[in-house]
Structure 1
Amino acid sequence: MAVRIRLTRLGRKKKPFYRIIVADSESKRDGKFLDVIGTYDPLQDPAAITINNDKLQQWLGRGALPTTTVKSLLKKAPVVAQQ
């Protein structure tokens, strides 16, 4: 089972809001997930990114791989220790 750190979409039409989740790589975009580690709101003027650093480091330590989109969000997020 390959585990990925990726986005799942919430919100209504034309008003997206995303959760940063940990899920099996074969599950659906809005399907079952293992853990929620943060949120991403692209509609705020500087896009709001909140991440639970402890959970992020725990999942990275277990071998979870972030997608390219999440990787770019992690670089923009404040107080995130790089791998």
Structure 2
Amino acid sequence: MAVKIRLARHGAKKRPYYRVVVADGRMPRDGRYIEQVGRYNPLTTPKTIELDLEKIDEWISKGAQPSTTVSHLIDIVRTGAPAPEKKQKLSKKAAAKAAAAAESAE
């Protein structure tokens, strides 16, 4: 049985909220899990990451494999650094307005 530490998506449409769970690799993403070991909310500013590192270390010692996303979240929590924020991309219309405003200011 391949045990994974991964994210399970919850929340409404376009409003994701994730639970960090330990689950059998054959179960569906949002299906049955063995234990919940944390939470991750990417919508708050700054992003909310709550992980129980003791439980995660215990599961990893038993052979559980964290997903790439979960391993990245674990690294962020261990270092204490804030989660990196993505730059907001301007729409074409907004970029054109900003360029026009900068041009008229000159």
TM over 0.5: yes
Structure 1: 5+ residue stretches without partners: none
d(CA) in 2 for partners of 1:37, 1:53: 8
Larger Rg: 2
- Structure 1 or 2: larger strand share? 1
Residue in 2 aligned with 1:59?
A: 59
Aligned Cα root-mean-square deviation (Å) = 1.4
Greater shift, 53-62 or 28-37, is seen at 53-62
- Structure 1 or 2: larger helix share? 2
d(CA) in 2 for partners of 1:60, 1:6: 12
| TM-score, length basis structure 2 | 0.71
SS at match of 1:77: helix
d(CA) in 2 for partners of 1:4, 1:70: 10
Residue in 2 aligned with 1:15?
A: 15
Runs of 4+ in 1 over 3 A off after TM superposition: none
Bigger relative contact order (CA 8 A; separation at least 6) = 1
Structure 2: 5+ residue stretches without partners: 81-106
Query: How many corresponding residue pairs?
Result: 80
- Shift, 1:15, TM fit: 0.8
| TM-score, length basis structure 1 | 0.90
d(CA) in 2 for partners of 1:39, 1:53: 12
Residue in 2 aligned with 1:73?
A: 73
Residue in 2 aligned with 1:29?
A: 29
